[in-house]
Amino acid sequence: ELFTEHGTHLRADNMRAIMDEVDPGGVPDKLGNYKGPVLVIAGSKEPKLVAKSFPALARALPQAEFRTAVGMHHQWNIEDPILFNATVRAWIEKHTAHPRLQEPGQ
């Protein structure tokens, strides 16, 4: 609970500093070599910087499917573990995104 509470209450300037330090942007050089299925998910309450990575990921991984976990932050696996587990199960077993996940822009 403390992890979730802390992570969802970071100030925007602190989150930006963390993101700038951890990942200055872009995708790994050889990411496009992977040709298997990919499901990319961002929480709808994540910093906008996260969703801005979607176009670069789409260029590197044209086979990727993109979804948004509505009402969730970055650690949505902790905020809604039932949805997270169902999402992983649907992707592994059926190669489909869970129906509660939305396509970006919806």
**12 pLDDT band (50/70/90 cuts)?**
confident
Residue 23 has pLDDT above 70, yes or no: no
Query: Which residues have a Cβ under 8 Å from the Cβ of 44 and sit 6 or more positions away?
Result: 68, 69, 70, 71, 72, 102
Does residue 25 carry a pLDDT above 80?
no
Tokens of 77: 């696996």
What pLDDT does 28 receive?
81
- Predicted TM-score of the model (pTM): 0.75
